[in-house]
Amino acid sequence: MSASDGEQLYDSSYRGELAMVKVLCGKPGINVNWRKEPHGLTPLYVACQAGQAEVLRLLLSVYGLQPNLASKTGVTPFSKACTEGHASMLSMLMDDPRIDLNQPQNTGSTPFFMACQNGFPKVVEILLKDGRVDVNRARNDGTSPFYKACEKCHKEVVALILKSGIQVDVNRAQSTGVTPFYLACERGQLELVKVLLDEPRVDINRPKEDGATPLFVTAQNGHLAVAEWLLASGRNIDIQRRATFNNNTAADQGRAMAIRVKKPEEQEEDHMRKKIYGPLVADLITRFENDPEKVRNELRKGLKLPVTVGPQSVKPESPSILSPPTAKEQPPSQDPSPEVTPKSDVANTDPAKASSGATSRIALIEFNGEKTKLKITSSSLAELISSLQQHLHVTDHQLAVSVWDTDFDDYITVRDMSELSDKPRLRIAIQTSSFWVWMVDPKSWRTGGFETTRYHSLVVKEGHAIFHQGAMEKFALIANNLGFDVSLVKKVLAVSNPTLLSMFEGYRSTLQGKHRANPALFKKEDWIDQKPADTRSSYLTWLKQQSEKFSWNDGTGSRVVPMIQGTSENAVWQICQQGFGMVGSTDMGYYGRGLYFTSNLKYALNYATPGPQGKPILVCMVAPGNSFPVTEHPFLRSGEKNPGGYLGEACRGGYQSHYTVVDRREIDKAFPIRGKIDPAIAADELVVFESAQALPLFVIYV
C-alpha cells in the first residue's frame, strides 16, 4: 500500500466519502491504522471527529483495525466522539468489545470527563447507563468529571449525574478545598446553585482550606440572589463559622465590602457589585440569624416556593416578582410602610423620640413636581433630610429642604430645625439636581423584588389614560427629544431601584474623578489619528447634539444620555430588579462586548420580543463617559471578517464606551454610515461595558 492510499483513506473518512472509503478498504494491504503527522491521527479518529457515522460503521468492520489508537496527546477515537458530542455514534462504538471506554488522555481526562467538560447531556446520559464507564475517575490534577461540569456551569449535565443514582463524589474538592458547591456560590451561578441545593448529598457548608464557607464567599462577592436561595432552602446552613485567615463570619465579610478598594486588575462591575451588594447580603444574614423562620418564609414567598407555616405548607399569593404592574394592581391608599422605610423617622412613633423634644407634624412634600403627605418626627435638620431620603428612596446627597413661609409667601431654605414654624402642618419642597431621581410614594408606587433587592414601579400611562401627570411629562421630555411619537406607546411604567441608582451615581462620581486626575489615561482622543477621522468626528458630534438636548448636560459633570433598549418581557423586569450585570445582558455585538443602546425607537423595536402587552422597551439613563467612535464593521461587504473590527472586543483603553452611527435599513448588517449622516436612515449604537453605566427609568410597551 502506498502512503498516498493511507492519506486518501484519511481524507475520505473525514469528508464522509463512503464509496471511496469502501474502495480503499478493499485494496490488498491497506493500512486502516495509517497515521497523519504531526498529531498521529487515524482515519477512525477523524471519522469520529467529523461525526461520519456510516464511515465509522464501515471502518469498525475492517480486519486489523486498532480502534483504541490514540493521538499524540492521548485522545482515542471514542474519546473524540464524546468530546465533540456525537451521541448518535456512541452505540456503535460501545457495542464493539474492543473499545476502551475509560482510556484517558495524557492529561488524565477520560471520555466521560470530556463529555462533562463540554456539556453534552445526551452523551453523558448514554455513558451513565453503561456500568463499564468510570464516572469518578479524575484528571491528573485531581479534577473530577462532576467538578468540571459544575465549573463550566453545565447544569443539565450536573442534574443528570445527580439523578442517575450512581455513587458520584459530589463533594470532591480541589487541592485548595474548593468544592463544586463552593465554586458555584463564588461565581454567582444561581441556576447551578439551585440544582445542587436540591441534592441532599451536597455539603453546603464545607469550607475551603482557609475556613471560608460557600455562604462566606457568596457575601464576599455580593451574590445577593444566591444568598437568598441559600437561606430560603431550608437546609441547615452554618452562618457562624469564621474564616481562619481573617476571623470573619459571612456577615462580617459582607459588611467589610462597603469599604473595599478596587484592585488594579479588577473590573469596575465586579468591584461595584461587591461594594454595593456585599453589605446587603450581610444585612440579610443578620436578619436571618435573628429570626430564621420569618426570613426564610419571606424569601420563599418572594421566590415562589411553598411557604412553611408550622407543619403546613401553603402556596404564596403574591404576584410574580418579575411581573410588571397594571393599573388595576396599584396599591390602595395607605400610610407609609415601615417595610419601605426601615430606619426612617418619617411617621416615627417611638416614645423615646417623642420625649427628646422632637415635634410631630404633617408635611406636604413637593418633590420634582410630585406631591405626597407624610408624618414627620425629627429633632435635627440632618435627621429630617435622612428620613426624607430613605422614605423617598433618594440617594442624591445634595438635597435642599425649603419650607413655605406665609410671611414671604414663598419657600425659604431651612438651615436649622429652629427655623421651622411651630405649626402642626408644614409644606416642604425638596430639590435634587438629578432628573432621574423619583419620589417613591408607597400609596401609588408598587414594590417588587425581595426586601434586599427592592424595585418600584408606577403605571404612568395605559392606552389613552394618564395616571401620573408629572411622570408623564418627564417621559414626554425624553420621548420628544429622542424623536418618537408618544401616541404610539401603549403603556408607560416609571421604574425606581435605589440600589441601581446608588451604583449609577457612584460610577459617575468615580468617572469624574478619573477624568480630572488623569485625562491622558482615562479620556483619550487618539481616534483623531485614525482614518477616517472626519467620519469619527461626525459620530461624536451626533452624540454631542443628542446630549445637549437635555439641560442637565451643561458641561459641569459627567454626561448622562437617555437611551433605549429592545428586550423581552422577562428580561426587562429582571433588569429593573437586579441590573444589567445580574442577568447576563452583555452582548458579543458587532462593536464590542457590552450593553447596547440606541436613541432610535424603530431600530430598538427590531430587538424587542413581542409580549402580551406589546414589545417591551427599556428607557435608561446612560453614562457613556469618553466614547470611542467606531467606523469599522466586523465584516467586509464581501463577507470576509474585517481584521480591524471590534466584534466581541473589550472597551478600547482610555475610553468608557464605543459609539457608532449605522444605516438602520440594513438591519441584518447595519453598516456604519460614511460621509454625511442622514437622520432619515441613521440609527446610533452606544456600547457601554459596565452595568453601573445604565440606570432603568421607564419600561414602555409599543
Residues 45 and 82 grouped into a single domain? no
Residues 359 and 247 grouped into a single domain? no
551: Cα separation from own chain's centroid: 31
Q: CA torsion sign, 617 to 659 to 558 to 694? A: positive
Structural domain ending residue among the three candidates 286, 305, 324: 286
Residue 634: its pLDDT value, please? 87
Residue 587: its pLDDT value, please? 56
Helices of type H across 233-342:
250-256, 268-290, 292-302
User: Are the CB atoms for 564 and 604 separated by under 8 Å?
Assistant: yes
Residue 312 resides in a domain: no
Residues 127 and 229 grouped into a single domain? yes
**Stretches in the chain below the pLDDT threshold 50:** 1, 309-358, 396-398, 582-585
Q: What is the CATH number of the domain that holds 393?
A: 3.10.20.90
User: Are the CB atoms for 536 and 627 separated by under 8 Å?
Assistant: no
Q: Please give the residue range of the domain that contains residue 493.
A: 446-701
Residue 318: its pLDDT value, please? 35
Residue 352 resides in a domain: yes
Structural domain ending residue among the three candidates 16, 33, 66: 66
464-470 contacts at long range (C-beta below 8 A, 24 or more positions apart): 465/327, 467/327, 467/330, 468/444, 468/494, 470/368, 470/369, 470/370
Residue 328 resides in a domain: no
User: CB-based contacts of 99: which residues, under 8 Å, 6+ apart?
Assistant: 67, 68, 78, 93
Residues 692 and 635 grouped into a single domain? yes
Residue 217: its pLDDT value, please? 98
Residues 74 and 32 grouped into a single domain? no
581-588 contacts at long range (C-beta below 8 A, 24 or more positions apart): 581/269, 581/273, 581/690, 581/691, 581/692, 582/225, 582/691, 585/691, 588/647, 588/648
Residues 281 and 365 grouped into a single domain? no
Residues 211 and 128 grouped into a single domain? yes
Residue 625 resides in a domain: yes
C-alpha–C-alpha distance, residues 168 and 183, integer Å: 18
Report the number of distinct structural domains present in the chain. Answer: 4
Residues 87 and 48 grouped into a single domain? no
Residue 365: its pLDDT value, please? 66
Residues 49 and 76 grouped into a single domain? no
Residue 51 resides in a domain: yes
pLDDT tens for residues 425-452?
Answer: 666 666 555 788 887 777 788 888 665 5
| 411: three-class secondary structure by DSSP | strand
Residues 259 and 240 grouped into a single domain? yes
What pairing do the DSSP bridges indicate for beta strands 425-431 and 400-405? antiparallel
Residues 242 and 387 grouped into a single domain? no
Tell me if the bond preceding 38 is cis, omega within 30° of 0: yes
- Three-point CA angle 574, 579, 583, nearest 5°: 55
* Count of CB atoms situated within 10 Å of the CB of 531: 8
